[in-house]
Amino acid sequence: MKAVVLAGGEATRLRPLTCNTPKMMVPVLNRPFLEHLVNYLKAHDIIDIVLAVGKLPEQVRDHLGDGSKLGVSIVYSMEAFPMGTAGAVKNAERLLDEPFFVFNGDVFTDIDLTAMWRAHRQSSVMASLALTPVEDPTIYGVVETDDRGRVTRFTEKPRREEVTTNMINAGIYILEPDILDFIAPNAFSMFERDIFPPLLEKGHDILGYQSLDYWIDIGTPDKYLRLNHDLLRRRAGDGRTGPAGGSSLHPSARIEGPAVIGEGCSVDRDCLIRGPVVLGARCRVEEGAVIEGAIVWSDCRIGRRASLRNCLIASNCSIGEECDVLDGCVLGDNVLVGKANKLSNGIRIWPGRTIAPDTISF
């Protein structure tokens, strides 16, 4: 099987984390999100991958190359402008001559792709959509199905009184090549709005494959934080949390997992790391600092008696002595919290604040 991974969006909802980093390269447990996705596909024998990329494609290509180091084959389909979910697939048409999967590039899931493929082949439909339940379907596009699993209606962001199902489009499709004939070339178009509803109106069957497996869209900072926390809690019992090679922990430092600590980190005396926590490579945590529920990217400094709590810190940030970064805060790359001199004590970044890259906050 072949898969098209849609990675050409601007990722504006995930800013400032994606100002300098494409969404597919945002780290999850210290590995690029795209690596997790590739390994998931590979586990279902999907090893021919087309990456539809737009913003900052060189970072993706420099890291993954042709995919051989991960045991897959990757080719790139470049977008000169944002083309939408359907437009991006049409742009890669020359590479698609057999049934193929399509994945939205911001979805992390355990949905059984092998079982979905089997259901698609047995149903003889032009398209199959993975469906997943959510607590609040009013912020998504809901998909109604009949007792055979055939889609009967799409409703985009229904009002609460209009909700008839909590099953939504999970952003995973299996498509027959014939569907490409319904997509305009060199134009922005969306499967969810421009392709699937008209196909349904014309009498084409679409299968809704319902799954209760884990699913999350990491398109916002709070969901990105939740994904890291979920995966850390999932790993807590398998013995794979803790410091990586080359890291040093003072004997008085306490780590209450689950936690992942990257290579080359140093954690000084009397520090407390209370999971779920991720520290990227080469981070320095100075005396008495407290980190709880935070995701910290690489090459960051956490100053003496500083406190991080349920926040997101991008690369090359420096948190000054006795400074606090509190719940829901998101710092872009190269942010300095506190003045660059000895008077930097006590700066507090209040809950929910977002700070753009290359900012000094004092």
- The string of pLDDT tens digits covering residues 59-82 is 888 888 888 999 999 999 988 888
Of 170, 131, 177, 124, the C-alpha closest to 152 is 131
Domain with CATH 2.160.10.10 in the chain: 232-361
Domain with CATH 3.90.550.10 in the chain: 2-219
Question: What pLDDT, on the 0 to 100 scale, is given for residue 58?
Answer: 80
Question: What pLDDT, on the 0 to 100 scale, is given for residue 238?
Answer: 45
Distance CA 27, CA 2 (A): 25
Question: What pLDDT, on the 0 to 100 scale, is given for residue 243?
Answer: 61
Question: And the tokens for 62?
Answer: 């420099």
Question: What pLDDT, on the 0 to 100 scale, is given for residue 299?
Answer: 95
pLDDT string in tens for the chain (362-residue length): 899 999 876 667 888 988 888 888 899 999 999 999 999 999 999 999 999 887 667 888 888 888 899 999 999 998 888 888 999 999 999 999 899 999 988 899 999 999 999 999 999 899 999 999 988 888 887 899 998 999 998 888 878 887 888 899 999 999 999 999 999 999 999 998 899 999 999 989 999 999 999 999 888 999 999 999 999 998 655 444 556 567 889 999 999 989 999 999 999 999 999 989 999 999 999 999 999 999 999 999 999 999 999 999 999 999 989 888 989 999 999 998 875 444 455 677 767 787 878 777 65
Q: Hey, what CATH class is 232-361 in?
A: mainly beta
Residue with tokens 């900012």: 359
Provide the annotated active-site residues: 157
CATH architecture of 2-219: Alpha-Beta Complex (3.90)
Question: What pLDDT, on the 0 to 100 scale, is given for residue 244?
Answer: 57
Question: And the tokens for 322?
Answer: 């006795």
Question: What pLDDT, on the 0 to 100 scale, is given for residue 54?
Answer: 76
Distance CA 188, CA 183 (A): 10
Distance CA 89, CA 183 (A): 9
Question: What pLDDT, on the 0 to 100 scale, is given for residue 163?
Answer: 82
